[in-house]
Amino acid sequence: MVMYDVIIIGGGAAGLFLAANTSGKRVLLLEGTSRVGKKVLITGGGMCNLTNNKEPSSFLKHFGNSDQSNFLKPAILNFPTQKTRLWFESHGLPLTEREDGKVFPSCLQARAVVDLLEHEASRNRVEVRTNAKVIEVQKDDTSNCYLIGTEHEQFQARTVVLTTGGMSYPTTGSDGSGYALAKMLGHSIVSPSPALVAVSVTDYAFTSLAGNSIRDSLVEFFHKDEAKRYNQATGDLLFTHDGLSGPVILNNSGTIRKGDQIRASLLPCSNKEEQRKVLTELISNNPKRQLYTLLKGEGLIAHLAEQLLHSLALTKEDTCANLSKEKRKDLIKLLTAYPFTVSGKKGFNAAMVTSGGVALDEVDRKTMESKLQKGLFFCGEVLDIDGESGGYNLQAAFSTARLVADIIQR
Ligand SMILES: Cc1cc2nc3c(=O)[nH]c(=O)nc-3n(C[C@H](O)[C@H](O)[C@H](O)COP(=O)(O)OP(=O)(O)OC[C@H]3O[C@@H](n4cnc5c(N)ncnc54)[C@H](O)[C@@H]3O)c2cc1C
């Protein structure tokens, strides 16, 4: 049996970045599916939002809880967003920062990210095997080596890095089988659940708007039968074929329950009361203008404007003067706090990340090495970390991988 210095299990964002950053060692990367980087290819709608412009202190606030932020701190300080950008650009991939601070390859092709990582891994002479799903890992305590088994072959290594991801979008290969491997080596798993998920909505009237979004919608969250909101957030809201998504929903999906009411402004909004006042004045001061034109002028999606008017028994031709005081109140209420009732949250098949994973207190945050097994490391989403949408999760995968690369090359 060939002995490797390092075996990386999982060729996703973390595994590939580790391979692209490890030279001078005999490294084997085992990927369960027919090709590496399947999930990376679908990130950011196929454009790959690979990082963002946040400094470490602000970056770390966008993770599940303070344990996660504390855990990630050494990795992020070692390899912050700035270094990720520099790394990709200095390896020949120009990047673009959007006005919201999200960073993408300038070509807006996730494929370019995967191609670059594969190319660098190959330059480092990393051996990549696809269709090599690992089903067993054991430590041989006499030789201090790991025995790794796929269905067809056995391998041996001094160091093993588990980069098997979470269990969302299992068709990309991240099917949760990495948790079983971690368990075989004595690690505990914090029960996985889908995170960053869209919601479906009861009696949803906006199927035809699927794919449209509202910039900076002010969204309030209410649990069933509770008058007091439990959360409020501002961000982009996306209409899907059966409900709502977009960063403002995804980033707050952890606390949303079936039966909750979500009230969203249908126009960009920072202050609901202020917006109500502005809209009231606008309608009163423009009696001859068609409501439809006025709403579109304020930035309301045309089809949404039509539907709103229709729901109030008004037509596109109605002017502001045609609006009774009562209907004006109703219209403004809908524009500033349109109510949606949550019928359910999407599952792992549609979740962007997994909350839960390898328990963080069993891993040394300064090295990513297991506290239970010497020579065993973890990177990326297989760990109990989950960031918000906006480049946080890929950056966490890159930073944890880079930390391991730095440690194993010492
Ligand atoms: C639709 C979607 C869009 C996203 N968009 C973004 C975005 O724009 N920005 C962002 O920051 N994050 C985004 N994410 C999240 C991001 O993709 C993940 O957090 C990131 O890929 C995690 O990297 P990873 O290497 O830990 O796991 P993965 O990239 O999931 O890779 C794990 C790899 O391990 C392999 N594997 C699993 N088990 C085994 C096994 N037993 N043996 C061998 N191989 C195995 C899998 O096949 C897979 O290739 C998105 C996620 C989804 C689903």
Show which of 311, 326, 345 is a domain's final residue. Answer: 345
C-alpha radius of gyration, the chain, whole number: 25
Continuous H helices in 246-345 = 247-250, 272-285, 291-297, 302-311, 325-336
Does residue 57 surpass a pLDDT of 90? yes
- Give residue 25 CA to ligand 1 midpoint distance, Å: 25
* Domain end (from 345, 366, 398): 345
pLDDT in tens, 347-358: 999 999 999 999
Quick one: how many helices (H) and strands (E) in the chain? 13, 20
Distance 3 CA to ligand 1 centre (A): 27
308-346 per-residue burial string, b: 16 or more CB within 10 A, e: under 16 = bbeebebeeebbbeebeeebbeebbebbbbbebbbbbbb
Over the stretch 121-143, which tens digit does the pLDDT of each residue have?
999 999 999 999 999 999 998 89
- Return the structure tokens found at 46: 């196929």
Instruction: Based on the fold, state whether residues 120 and 221 are members of the same structural domain.
Output: no
Q: Would the pLDDT of 212 be above 90?
A: yes
Q: Is the shortest distance between the CB of 178 and ligand 1 below 6 Å?
A: yes
Q: Please, which pLDDT band fits residue 410 given cuts at 50, 70 and 90?
A: confident
Tokens representing 125 are: 């002479």
Backbone CA torsion sign across 366, 370, 373, 374:
negative
CATH number at residue 88: 3.50.50.60
The model carries a pTM of: 0.91
Strand locations in 84-230 (E): 95-97, 102-105, 127-129, 134-140, 145-150, 154-162, 189-195, 199-201, 213-222
pLDDT at 54: 98
Domain total for the chain? 2
Compute, in angstroms, the gap from residue 44 CA to the centroid of ligand 1.
12
Same domain, yes or no, for 44 and 188? yes
| 289 lies in the same domain as 302 | yes
Q: Which of 164, 185, 346, 363 to mutate to test the pocket of ligand 1 (most atoms within 8 A of CB)?
A: 164
Q: CA 308, CA 48: separation in Å to the nearest integer?
A: 35
HEC assignment per residue over 57-92:
HHHHHHECCHHHHHHHHHHHHHCCHHHHHHHHHHCC
**Cα of 314 from ligand 1 centre, angstroms:** 48
Any atom of ligand 1 within 6 Å of the Cβ of 387: no
For residues 245 and 363, membership in a common domain is answered with no
Q: Mean pLDDT throughout 282-300?
A: 94
177 and 30 inside one domain: yes
355 lines ligand 1 (CB under 6 A): no
Ligand 1 pocket check for 10: Cβ under 6 Å: yes
Q: Is the pLDDT confidence value at 1 over 90? A: no
pLDDT exceeds 90 at position 2: no
**Residue 64: is its pLDDT beyond 90?**
no
Average pLDDT over residues 374-397: 97
- 9 CB less than 6 Å from ligand 1? yes
The neighbouring-strand residues paired with 357 are 190
Is the domain of 56 the same as that of 99?
yes
Residues 160 and 179 in one domain: yes
Do 40 and 172 sit in the same domain of this protein?
yes
Residues 271 and 396 in one domain: no
Provide the greatest CA pair distance for the chain: 88
Q: Does ligand 1 lie within 6 Å of residue 197's CB atom?
A: no
What residue numbers bound the domain in which 122 lies?
3-194+352-408
Q: Which of 318, 345, 372 is the last residue of a domain?
A: 345
Give the model's pLDDT for residue 121.
Answer: 98
First CA to last CA distance, the chain: 26
Same domain, 13 and 127: yes
Using the mean position of ligand 1's atoms as its centre, give its distance from the Cα of residue 214 in Å: 28
| Three-class secondary structure of residue 180 per DSSP | helix
Pair (190, 205) in one structural domain: no
Query: Where is 178: in which H helix or E strand?
Result: helix 177-184
The per-residue pLDDT for 405 is 98
Domain match, 393 and 298 both? no
* Atom number in ligand 1 closest to CA 180: 41
pLDDT > 90 in the chain, percent = 96
342 falls in which pLDDT band (50, 70, 90)? Answer: very high
